[in-house]
Structure 1
Amino acid sequence: MNLAFAIDLFLQHLVNEEKSDKTVKAYGMCMNHFKAWLDSSWDEISDLEDVTQTVVRDFKSYLESKVVAKTKRHLAPTTVNHYLIALRSFLLFARSKGVVFKSEPVAGIKLKVIANQNQTKWLSNEEIAKISHVIELLKYAGEKRKALYKAIFAILVNCGLRVAEVADLKVIDILLDSGLLIVRSGKGDKYRHVPLGIKTRTILQAWLNHHGGVSPYLFYSQRDPQMTTRAIQHMMGRLSKLAKVKFTVHQLRHTFAKRVANESGQIEVVATVLGHSNIQTTRRYIEPSIQEVRKVIESVEFE
């Protein structure tokens, strides 16, 4: 089977399995990278059946020795594993479609063993305070604009919503009297309620006072009745620069989850508010992060 054709079939299979766009794109990048490497390193291989254990091991060695031009560093072990996992899924898919390999290549895929260290990053209380202060001092922003920034930031850091979930919120999803926020179509099309704290309710009420009812969506722009995820990311990026606090929108979700985990001590509570189906995904918030480990090490080291 032609390799390019097999890759197209594989990616279409992922789409049919209703994998997320992000997953399909990541697997596509990995497989196209594999094909490009194969074309340049193994000229004699044109068909998928010719991929052997030796080829797979050679690809792993290539990944481990590859230096990223931008950072001048080798690929992280987790990145190497992402490539290998994608390749293994692809080869297993090809075998299920009748491809008979001359030498079983899947057996040659050995993932790098990585110590279980929590790399999740979240913001400190001081950093959150800096960002909130910057919103108050936004130049050339009237009260409506400030109320908008406050409301979006509050939902991200006090409710832990994904940026797409924030963009999809409608006015009717904010139940201030009940102190609840409704996520109607979260990841995996899951419906859930998220409690609203008193401060967040106050912030949202202030924004609703400016909303004007011009759109059914909670957040809108001058051009569109629904604010895009890109626009929300741009707004948070502006706050990051002004506050000189480096963060991503998703790290605000991590920050919320970590605070809930610390306060409740119950992984089930965190999983519920985040909308996680697999509680193992939530475990990162009750395990010490690498930053927390670093602080302990620095506090006990000798001069």
Structure 2
Amino acid sequence: MTGIRVSDLVALDRLDLDVSDLKGSLIVRLGKGNKEGTLPLNVEARRVIERYLEERTDSNPALFISSRQERISIRSVQYLLEKNGHNAHQTRHSFITGLVRAGEDISVIQSLSGHSSADMILRYSMPSEEDKQKAVDNIFKD
């Protein structure tokens, strides 16, 4: 999982992928606000993408293509996610919230998420009802 925006995902080309045995990344060339950035890939993401590309026999420069051998559309990605019980925005939100809750540095989260403002990251750090209950329960715990 990278937390990438769907619009950035569908714009990726094969040349935007840099993978080796030890590390990998995606280059987002024209993200929101025409910003470029690099997103690291974990080992599982690298394996899945490499397997996917090994199965492809076309010369389409797009990293992800549809069954019609064309660059996949935003709507197609949304449909595939929804078909499997996911929502693109919620998945991205979960990624960012997970980083916040893991105590990652705000500047790292901002860079990974492509947000231009740290204020946007603070929205993801809003405590849940469970967080508030846990805080109250732990007040006098020894």
Using the TM superposition, give the Cα deviation of residue 290 of structure 1 relative to its aligned residue in structure 2, in angstroms. Answer: 4.7
Determine the structure 2 residue equivalent to 1:161: 4
The reply on whether 1:189 has 2:34 as its aligned counterpart is yes
Question: Structure 2 counterpart of 1:199, which letter?
Answer: E
The reply on whether 1:265 has 2:104 as its aligned counterpart is yes
The reply on whether 1:250 has 2:93 as its aligned counterpart is no
**Aligned positions of 1:95-174 closer than 5 A:** 158-174=1-17
Determine the structure 1 residue equivalent to 2:53: 208
CA separation in 2, counterparts of 1:249 and 1:227? Answer: 15
More divergent stretch after superposition (229-238 vs 258-267): 258-267
CA separation in 1, counterparts of 2:51 and 2:98? Answer: 25
- Unaligned 5+ segments in structure 2 are none
Determine the structure 1 residue equivalent to 2:72: 227
1:261-297 per-position Cα deviation (integer Å, ceiling 9, x unaligned): 233431111001111111101112233135644x649
Q: TM-score, normalized by length of structure 1?
A: 0.41
The reply on whether 1:180 has 2:19 as its aligned counterpart is no
- Unaligned 5+ segments in structure 1 are 1-157, 241-246
Question: Structure 1 counterpart of 2:17, which letter?
Answer: I
Question: Structure 1 counterpart of 2:8, which letter?
Answer: E
Question: Structure 1 counterpart of 2:106, which letter?
Answer: I
**Aligned positions of 1:4-23 closer than 5 A:** none
> Percent identity at matched positions?
29
Distance 1:261 1:203, change over 3 A: same
More divergent stretch after superposition (175-184 vs 186-195): 175-184
Q: Which has the larger radius of gyration?
A: 1
Q: Is the 8 A contact 2:12 2:64 kept in 1?
A: yes
CA separation in 1, counterparts of 2:61 and 2:130? Answer: 42
Q: TM-score, normalized by length of structure 2?
A: 0.84
Distance 1:264 1:182, change over 3 A: farther
Q: Is the 8 A contact 1:267 1:286 kept in 2?
A: no
Distance 1:263 1:222, change over 3 A: same
RMSD: 2.1
**Larger relative contact order, structure 1 or 2 (CA cutoff 8 Å, min sep 6):** 2
The reply on whether 1:238 has 2:89 as its aligned counterpart is no
CA separation in 1, counterparts of 2:96 and 2:64? Answer: 23
Using the TM superposition, give the Cα deviation of residue 224 of structure 1 relative to its aligned residue in structure 2, in angstroms. Answer: 4.7
CA separation in 2, counterparts of 1:291 and 1:168? Answer: 38
